[in-house]
Chains A and B, each alone.
Chain A
Amino acid sequence: MTSRKIRIDVLTLDSVQCPACGYMMESIAALPADVQDMIDYTEWSIKTKDGIARFMAMKGKVVPTICIEGDLVFPSRIPQYEELIEAMALRASDQAMAARLRELKDVGFQFDKLEENLRKAGSGLSTREK
């Protein structure tokens, strides 16, 4: 059986304009390839009405914030690699995925597919009302 992917929403001002938001996004986009296979993530910029609507729906308090499975886990604090992995493991859809994530705790951030991963997450692409 295939595990359901972990849902991550990153609430930002704009990951291009604001480095705090940018590095919050990068903390997800620089996760190793094995972790990338287990997550789906999107940037929500409050420079758009859709982004504000998502911010309010998730009961966001500050930007940037990393939300995992609907929980506001890292509000205004860019996480360390290990604590980010643990936060995802705690919210994994099954024990096998949680165990696999914890096995990856020593791998560390990887930067070789950063731009590609950021593009997939829509980073910087939805920061203006059209």
Chain B
Amino acid sequence: MSKQLLIDAIHGRTTPKAPWFPYAGVNSAFNIKEKAEDYLRDPRLIAKGVAQTAKRYRADGFPLLFDLSVEANAVGCELRWWADNVPSVVTHPCSKMQTPRELGLKVPTQESGRWPVVLEAGRLAKPELDAQDCVLVGLYCGPLTLASHLAGVRIFTDTYKNKAFAHEVLAFADEVGAASAKFYADLGCEVIGIVDPVASQVKSETFAEFVAPYAQKGIEVIHKAGATSIFLICGDCTKVMENVCTIGTHGFAIDEQLNLGFVRDMALKHGVGFAGNLKLTMALSLGLISPREDTLVSLAAGGTRGFVLAAGCDLPYDVPAESIDQVMEARDWYYENYTPYPDAK
């Protein structure tokens, strides 16, 4: 377990081996035999799940949470809770085309919504992960996903038909993201990630106008704090890959739907780190593809310049630890037996 390995790779540097960053959000609840809805409301359970699962998975970095409803809930969106999943956002305050300003929505403080639980969990988990030389990673909801939570699915139509409204919602999302980034920086997270899965669902021009500009306040906070930044996106984001590489973070993460060779070439061209892209369902959840072989494929394609071995997205609740064991065994085996890439140290 090595913090520096993860930080170096996200910065696009060559590392002796690819660091391992399992996104085990609610999967950490499963590992300590708790329901997700109980786990996510109790800071002691979160800290216990994070510390135990990071150790079990021999992680170089580990997320405090992978829950994109925290920011939305802190500004007034209602949630539906699940026993085996993250909460879902069920109300959208801006859905009748009222802007956050017109509705009087406030940028969260550390006392808003679920933040007291999240930050207390972080304070409890941080020393445990430090002792394991594992980065406690803070992840917050990216601008377009938060705008979707605020306005509902109409935001995708508004980016064409009601641009002024969409810009206002996104500008608010940027401020909320910057607040989250500050909370995680104050907590001491050495890596902070902006998670914007719906940003893969728009055209490159829409990304350039409505995503990249509204990620900047958060990125500035992260970099001013001396932390490492990463932008996480999912789905088939081939069409916005250039936008992702140039958004301004040190690195980015993609899921299993992308060709890792293409992603590696793009990352190397732009001098940024990249993370991916083990198959969540076919390999890790259901075992229809061997997690061991999937890991070998990723490691061979990713190389050791700026590459972080990671799952494609947040691990589903009930991914068996035995699947992750196979990933770790395959990673050890790979570095013992595969011919290294010529420029690997």
Q: In the complex, which of the residues B68, B85, B282 contacts A52, with contact meaning CB atoms closer than 8 Å?
A: B282
A109 x B153 contact (CB < 8 A): yes
B235 cross-chain contacts in A, Cβ below 8 A: 18, 20, 62-64, 76
B257 x A63 contact (CB < 8 A): yes
Name the residue in A13, A19, A81 with the highest tally of chain B Cβ atoms < 10 Å from its Cβ: A19
Q: List 17 A-B contacts (CB under 8 A).
A: A13-B280, A16-B86, A17-B316, A19-B197, A20-B198, A20-B200, A20-B234, A22-B88, A23-B156, A76-B257, A109-B153, A109-B157, A111-B95, A127-B85, A127-B316, A128-B84, A129-B286
For residues 79 through 95 of chain B, which have their beta carbon under 8 Å from a beta carbon of chain A?
80, 82, 84-86, 88, 90, 92, 95
B interface residues with partner A (beta carbon < 8 Å):
68, 80, 82, 84-86, 88, 90, 92, 95, 145, 148-149, 152-154, 156-157, 160-161, 197-198, 200-203, 234-237, 257, 280-282, 285-286, 288, 313-314, 316-318
A24 to B95, CA, bound (A): 16
B68 cross-chain contacts in A, Cβ below 8 A: 19
A78 x B202 contact (CB < 8 A): yes
User: Does A46 sit within 8 A of B, measured CB to CB?
Assistant: yes
A26 x B316 contact (CB < 8 A): no
Name the residue in A20, A109, A114 with the highest tally of chain B Cβ atoms < 10 Å from its Cβ: A20
A48 to B80, CA, bound (A): 22
CB < 8 Å A-B pair total: 114
A20 to B198, CA, bound (A): 4
Q: In the complex, which of the residues B157, B236, B237, B314 contacts A17, with contact meaning CB atoms closer than 8 Å?
A: B314
Name the residue in B149, B201, B236, B316 with the highest tally of chain A Cβ atoms < 10 Å from its Cβ: B201
Q: In the complex, which of the residues A14, A26, A47, A62 contacts B236, with contact meaning CB atoms closer than 8 Å?
A: A62
A13 cross-chain contacts in B, Cβ below 8 A: 234, 280-281, 313
A123 to B68, CA, bound (A): 18
A52 to B149, CA, bound (A): 28
A16 cross-chain contacts in B, Cβ below 8 A: 82, 85-86, 88
User: Does A108 sit within 8 A of B, measured CB to CB?
Assistant: yes
With A17-B314, A78-B156 as contacts: A46 and B281 at CB distance below 8 Å: yes
A77 cross-chain contacts in B, Cβ below 8 A: 201-203
Q: In the complex, which of the residues A20, A78, A124 contacts B82, with contact meaning CB atoms closer than 8 Å?
A: A124
User: Does A2 sit within 8 A of B, measured CB to CB?
Assistant: no
Q: Give the nearest-CB partner of B69 in chain A.
A: A19
B197 cross-chain contacts in A, Cβ below 8 A: 18-20
- The smallest C-beta distance from A46 to any residue of chain B, in angstroms, reads 5
Q: Give the nearest-CB partner of B285 in chain A.
A: A47
Q: In the complex, which of the residues B95, B203, B282, B313 contacts A18, with contact meaning CB atoms closer than 8 Å?
A: B313
A18 to B88, CA, bound (A): 9
- The smallest C-beta distance from B31 to any residue of chain A, in angstroms, reads 16
A76 x B236 contact (CB < 8 A): yes
With A62-B235, A128-B84 as contacts: A109 and B316 at CB distance below 8 Å: no
A49 x B153 contact (CB < 8 A): no
Q: Give the nearest-CB partner of A27 in chain B.
A: B153
A80 to B162, CA, bound (A): 12
